[in-house]
Amino acid sequence: MKKICAGIAVLLCCLALFAAGGKDKAAGGSKSGITEITFWDFPNFNDATGIAGNFDRELIKAFEAKNPDIKVNLEMINFNDGPAKIETALASNTAPDVVYDAPGRIIAWGNLGVLAPLDDIVNPVKATIESGLINGSTGADGKIYMYPVNTAPFVMAFNKTMLQELGLLDLLPYTRGDRSWTVAEYEKLLTALRDKLPAGSTPGVFFAKSQAGDQGTRAFMVNLYGADLLNDNFTQYVFNDDRAVKNMEWVVRACKSKLLMNGSALASSDAIDMFVAGKAAHTILYSVGLHKTNATKLNYNGKPFDVIYMPYPCDAKAKLEYLIGGPCVFDNGDPARIEAAKRFVTFMAQDAEWSPKVIDATGTFACSSRIHVATNGDSELEWNAGASKFFGPYYNTINGFTEMRTYWFPMLQDTINGGNVKNALNTFASRANATLK
Mean pLDDT of 43-60: 91
Higher pLDDT, 32 or 236: 236
Report residue 307's pLDDT band, with 50, 70 and 90 as the boundaries. very high
322 vs 197, 232, 364, 387, 396, CA distance in Å?
A: 31, 18, 11, 10, 10
The whole-angstrom separation of Cα 100 and Cα 42 is 7
pTM of the model: 0.84
Report residue 51's pLDDT band, with 50, 70 and 90 as the boundaries. confident
pLDDT tens across 66-122, in order? 999 999 999 999 888 899 999 999 999 999 999 999 999 999 999 999 999 999 999
Q: Which CATH class is domain 155-319+399-436?
A: alpha beta
Q: What pLDDT sits at residue 207? A: 99
Q: 174: closest CA among 148, 156, 153? A: 156
Is 412's pLDDT higher than 60?
Answer: yes
Q: 220: closest CA among 158, 156, 270, 264? A: 156
Q: Do the domains 35-150+323-385 and 155-319+399-436 sit in the same CATH topology, yes or no?
A: yes
Contact 151, 364 (CB under 8 A): yes
pLDDT tens across 124-162, in order? 999 999 999 999 999 999 999 999 999 999 999 999 999
Through-space distance between the first and last CA atoms of the chain, rounded to whole angstroms: 72
Annotate 361-418 with DSSP letters as a single string: HHTSEESBTTS----TT-HHHHHHHTGGGGB----TTSTTHHHHHHHHHHHHHHHHTT
At 146, which helix (H) or strand (E)? none
pLDDT tens across 234-278, in order? 999 999 999 999 999 999 999 999 999 999 999 999 999 999 999
The whole-angstrom separation of Cα 126 and Cα 148 is 10
Domain ranges of the chain: 35-150+323-385, 155-319+399-436
b/e for 31-62, b at 16 or more Cβ within 10 A?
Answer: eeeebebbbbbbebbbbeeeeebebbebbbeb
Contact 227, 403 (CB under 8 A): no
293 vs 53, 57, 220, 287, 366, CA distance in Å?
A: 12, 17, 22, 10, 17
Query: Can you tell me whether residue 130 is helix, strand or coil?
Result: coil
b/e for 107-132, b at 16 or more Cβ within 10 A?
Answer: bbbbbeebbbbbeebbeebeeebeeb
Chain Cα centroid distance, residue 120: 24
Contact 99, 330 (CB under 8 A): yes
From the candidate CATH numbers 3.40.190.10, 3.40.30.10, 3.40.1440.10, 3.40.640.10, the one assigned to the domain spanning 35-150+323-385: 3.40.190.10
Contact 408, 211 (CB under 8 A): yes
The four Cα atoms 403, 407, 410, 412 give a dihedral, to 10 degrees, of -120
Q: What pLDDT sits at residue 11? A: 36
Q: 29: closest CA among 72, 74, 63, 70? A: 70
The whole-angstrom separation of Cα 103 and Cα 407 is 19
The whole-angstrom separation of Cα 256 and Cα 294 is 30
Is 23's pLDDT higher than 50?
Answer: no
